[in-house]
Structure 1
Amino acid sequence: MGGRLFLVLFLCLQKILCTLAYATANESPQSHDIGLMITKEVENTLFPYIAPNGSPRPFIPQLAPSPLVPFLTNTAPKLSGKCGLNFSAVSGLMRTTAVDCFTSFAPLLANVICCPQLHATVTILLGQSSMQTGMLALDSTHAKYCLSDVQQILESQGANYELRRICSIHSSNLTEGLCPVSDVNGVESAIDSSKLLASCSKVDQVNECCSKVCQNAILDAAGKVAMRDGGLPIMESTNMAAKASKVDDCRRVVLRWLSSRLDVTSATQLLRRVSNCNVNGACPLLFPETANVAKECGTKIKNHTTCCNAMDNYVAHLQKQSFITNLQAMDCGAKLALQLQSENVSTDIYRLCGINLKDFSLQVGSQGTGCLLPSLPSDATLDQTTGISFTCDLNDNIAAPWPSYLRSPTTSCNRSISYPELPAATSAQIGGNEQYAKLHLLTAALLFLLYI
């Protein structure tokens, strides 16, 4: 049964008591309601309850209490007074980013939602400010002040106070780095502006990761900027690492230029859709040592129960890390399978032990059900009554793929490969039915389930 679960994150009592609410949006007559409650915050990180594996059973929801305080208490940020960037031009974008990176949930949404949005915000901020300054980069001193101000503004609106660490963003990300050009005129004299805008003004969120129309145009422009003033003699360079770093830094500058030529909304879509290819392109999970699973499940399995217990214990470690997308889950499943196959595990233990795609994501609720985020770019949303929410795509028991022995898994760009059915919400978004998703998100806010 395919389904879509909209996860409603309910924070109250000044960020100490939290209640996460769930409701299903399913066209099928049947639905599953899964409850979750967080009782305390420990070191600004959410530690979910990990339940034994098994299919969730529906139960009767309970209504959660109303919040005693607003979800976001805006406080005056302590700004340096030494950053000249135009923050007012991206005020709405900053609010969206604060919600996407909200307090304890930022580490859990970091890879898919929070960090891509934060990096896009900084890029657009520099791009929009260049319309007044003519500069697409800051010097190292002002970069430190401006990044600190970005953190202060976001934190004052409810964002996590450790965003720079969580998203690995540094003041050097606001400079030109190794790129020889940092001003608007210099970039425009080096690139074909009309060609770049034609390729990237409207990025196909479904096909861009395979066609790479915009990505290739950006890379081509970055290469031209890198060669400006003899900055990168590509054909003669012997230091490939230095060449790659210089082109990458120029790529940042080109993205800022693009952001200055688009409105904030269009620039956000461009950056999120392009970065989304990297998000879905690799499994973000850290895999512990697999020796125990290989020992119990390797060669000819002697005891299925012992093998599956070892596998369940291993997967439980993965389930404590973060929310991932459905495409990431497929990549994580294939990556782990190849590792096990290299250690003489030839049996499809995913099928044997009932390992599903959602088992690779963070588990939520007393019944331990995984939440797969959509593979297309998405944001968390804030409602002062219902709290923070985001789309959670669920399909019931879609088996994790076990690739052919020691053969690298194929990518989603290979149209000849038949993949398991992905969550219905993703299909709806591919069809452009975003209002349909938002309608159910508001409906989901009417039900609250407590978990212990």
Structure 2
Amino acid sequence: MDCIKAATLVIFKGSLWLHLFLLTICSSKLLYVVSVSLPSSGIFEPIEISPSVLPHYPYLGKTLPPMYPSFPKTYKPILSGKCPFNFSSISTIIEKTASDCSQLLAPLVANVICCPQFASSLHIFQAHFTKNSNLLVLQNTTMADHCFSDIVEVLGSKGANTSVCSFKPLNITGGSCPVNDVSTFEKIVNTTKLVNACSAIDPLKECCRSVCQPAIIEASFQISSSNVDVLNDCKGVVHSYLSRNLPLEAADSAFRILSACKVNKVCPLEFKQPDEVIKACRNVGGSSSWCCSSLNSYIAGVQRQMLITNRQAIICASVFGSMLRKGGVVTDVYELCDVDLKDFSLQVAYGEEAGCLLRSLPADVVYDNSSGFSFTCDLSDNIAAPWPSSSSIASFSLCAPEMSLPALPTSHTDEYPGCKGILLDMLIIVLALIIVPLND
């Protein structure tokens, strides 16, 4: 059966307003479409993410303005003149980073899309800045300050906001790593093994049966002279060497996959103590309206923080569930109140269940003049949130065959028999995409 198994596309147009949320699942016998329509009357306003970020547009009947009327909203960057680097030599990476960190979306996708790509661009800059010398890093901290400032300025001139990330000029120096030149590096490290291990990373295997990650750690440990205190600094040197010896796109792909392994290991959301939810749900009986109202209100606040991936959602659901269990809630309130994984991620539509979970694999924000911003959502968004078996937060092993996922929803399958086989295919996809991360 020829079926498009992953075609959930969320398109932002206007002031971060959703114009289309379309899920298409097809087979030779069935085309099943779920769409979200705008209210026919009244002022349509987006889910409030931040009043300072999202302007209101109260004039119905008129064409909504694009988020950036002339995106990319460019201006000539004001460079320091003290960083001798031609940024056009890595223009493809600069453009990709600017898109992934676009002003209005950056705070919402920082953890999964923007900051991993910004980190990759710094590794690549570091290598290209020093490629005509024997050095692998910027040794002069003053030069690093100037160049880092110029990188931020160039990205800003293309509409990017990198302030959501925690990187500093120190990240493009060797820090305290005792090795920072090519000659010494190649005497200590089996560079053929290192480059081969990271030249073509399999995104479906690296986080579970990693090849590149151990090679980077081994090389970092070797040049650190077995000093664990400088191991992270030395990893930056190894990243620079890889950037020198891999094609531009291959290096960027490798760094993004390794970042995906890392960010999908933890829940990035912040949970305040859910006292009200515990009070409402601790002794929930036949009537669940008070409990579900309190639970949904709490989760509505959490989901405004950011867009998260399917794997992060599983961990977040377990973390929050463990907090509830610790407070004395023993009933599976996720099942009781129909809480799905998508409920922990930003809701990108108005008045409908249209939460978006990003894929666990590296993703990018895409922009075009006609449709605005877009990115791909994962099909696991209607999977029920897993209720933890105890109040302790267990470590996750999401690599097959140890991993297990909640059952897929059964709604529509009786009405549309052809969906059953499709949902099974969807589960296979989810199992393939949800993989255990390792530290970057």
The residue type paired with residue 152 of structure 2 is Q
Higher relative contact order, structure no. (Cα contacts within 8 Å, ≥ 6 residues apart): 1
Structure 1 residues 267 and 429, CA, compared in 2 at 3 Å: closer, same or farther?
farther
Structure 1 partner of 2:418: none
The residue type paired with residue 381 of structure 1 is V
Structure 1 partner of 2:155: 154
**Deviation, structure 1 residue 70:** 2.1
Structure 1 residues 63 and 201, CA, compared in 2 at 3 Å: closer, same or farther?
farther
**Overall identity of the aligned pairs, in %:** 36
**Deviation, structure 1 residue 403:** 2.3
User: Is 1:405 paired with 2:390?
Assistant: yes
Does structure 1 conserve the Cα–Cα contact (< 8 Å) formed by 2:380 and 2:430? Answer: no
CA distance in 1, matches of 2:297, 2:84: 52
**Deviation, structure 1 residue 364:** 1.6
Structure 2 partner of 1:417: 403
Structure 1 partner of 2:345: 361
Instruction: Report Cα offsets for 1:334-393 as digits up to 9, x if no partner.
Output: 111112112221111100111100000011221252110111101111212222211122
**Deviation, structure 1 residue 424:** 4.6
Structure 1 residues 214 and 430, CA, compared in 2 at 3 Å: closer, same or farther?
same
Instruction: Report Cα offsets for 1:419-444 as digits up to 9, x if no partner.
Output: 1459959939969xxxxxxxxxxxxx
Q: Tell me the number of residue pairs that the alignment of Structure 1 and Structure 2 aligns.
A: 397
CA distance in 2, matches of 1:397, 1:268: 32
CA distance in 2, matches of 1:281, 1:312: 25
Structure 2 partner of 1:211: 209
CA distance in 2, matches of 1:156, 1:109: 20
CA distance in 1, matches of 2:260, 2:355: 21
CA distance in 1, matches of 2:276, 2:64: 45
Single out whichever of 398-407 and 263-272 deviates more from structure 2: 398-407
Structure 2 partner of 1:438: none
Structure 1 partner of 2:22: 24
Structure 2 partner of 1:331: 315
CA distance in 1, matches of 2:137, 2:120: 15
Structure 1 residues 401 and 429, CA, compared in 2 at 3 Å: closer, same or farther?
closer
User: Is 1:375 paired with 2:360?
Assistant: yes
Equivalent residues in 2 for 1:337-356, closer than 5 Å = 337-356=321-340
CA distance in 1, matches of 2:380, 2:250: 31
Structure 1 residues 104 and 66, CA, compared in 2 at 3 Å: closer, same or farther?
closer
Identify which of 171, 175, 178 aligns with 1:177. Answer: 175
**Deviation, structure 1 residue 394:** 3.9
CA distance in 2, matches of 1:374, 1:426: 14
CA distance in 1, matches of 2:195, 2:343: 41
Structure 1 residues 114 and 270, CA, compared in 2 at 3 Å: closer, same or farther?
same
CA distance in 1, matches of 2:143, 2:90: 19
Does structure 2 conserve the Cα–Cα contact (< 8 Å) formed by 1:3 and 1:24? Answer: no
Secondary structure of the corresponding residue to residue 105 of structure 2: helix
Structure 1 residues 171 and 206, CA, compared in 2 at 3 Å: closer, same or farther?
same
Secondary structure of the corresponding residue to residue 9 of structure 1: strand
Structure 1 residues 46 and 172, CA, compared in 2 at 3 Å: closer, same or farther?
farther
Instruction: Report Cα offsets for 1:219-254 as digits up to 9, x if no partner.
Output: 010000100xxxx4x5xxxxxxxx34x101101110
Structure 1 partner of 2:53: 45
Structure 1 gaps, min length 5: 12-16, 49-61, 235-242, 432-452
Does structure 2 conserve the Cα–Cα contact (< 8 Å) formed by 1:108 and 1:323? Answer: yes
Structure 2 partner of 1:131: 131
Does structure 2 conserve the Cα–Cα contact (< 8 Å) formed by 1:99 and 1:388? Answer: no
User: Is 1:279 paired with 2:287?
Assistant: no
Structure 1 residues 63 and 222, CA, compared in 2 at 3 Å: closer, same or farther?
farther
Structure 1 partner of 2:13: 10
Does structure 1 conserve the Cα–Cα contact (< 8 Å) formed by 2:400 and 2:431? Answer: no
Equivalent residues in 2 for 1:52-67, closer than 5 Å = 67=66
The residue type paired with residue 306 of structure 1 is W
Does structure 2 conserve the Cα–Cα contact (< 8 Å) formed by 1:41 and 1:104? Answer: no
Structure 1 residues 38 and 296, CA, compared in 2 at 3 Å: closer, same or farther?
closer
CA distance in 1, matches of 2:131, 2:428: 36
Instruction: Report Cα offsets for 1:143-197 as digits up to 9, x if no partner.
Output: 111111111111111112xx13x11111111111121122222222221101111
RMSD: 3.0
Instruction: Report Cα offsets for 1:197-218 as digits up to 9, x if no partner.
Output: 1211111101111112211110
**Deviation, structure 1 residue 255:** 0.8
The residue type paired with residue 402 of structure 1 is W
Equivalent residues in 2 for 1:203-282, closer than 5 Å = 203-227=201-225, 232=226, 234=227, 243-244=228-229, 246-282=230-266
Runs of 4+ in 1 over 4 A off after TM superposition: 35-44, 62-68, 299-303, 421-426, 428-431
CA distance in 2, matches of 1:35, 1:153: 39
Instruction: Report Cα offsets for 1:26-71 as digits up to 9, x if no partner.
Output: 12422222358767996763499xxxxxxxxxxxxx9955759422
CA distance in 2, matches of 1:200, 1:102: 29
Structure 2 gaps, min length 5: 39-43, 409-422, 434-440
CA distance in 1, matches of 2:357, 2:171: 30
Does structure 1 conserve the Cα–Cα contact (< 8 Å) formed by 2:128 and 2:244? Answer: yes
CA distance in 1, matches of 2:22, 2:347: 16
**Deviation, structure 1 residue 135:** 2.0
Structure 1 partner of 2:111: 111
CA distance in 2, matches of 1:137, 1:282: 30
Structure 1 residues 250 and 181, CA, compared in 2 at 3 Å: closer, same or farther?
same
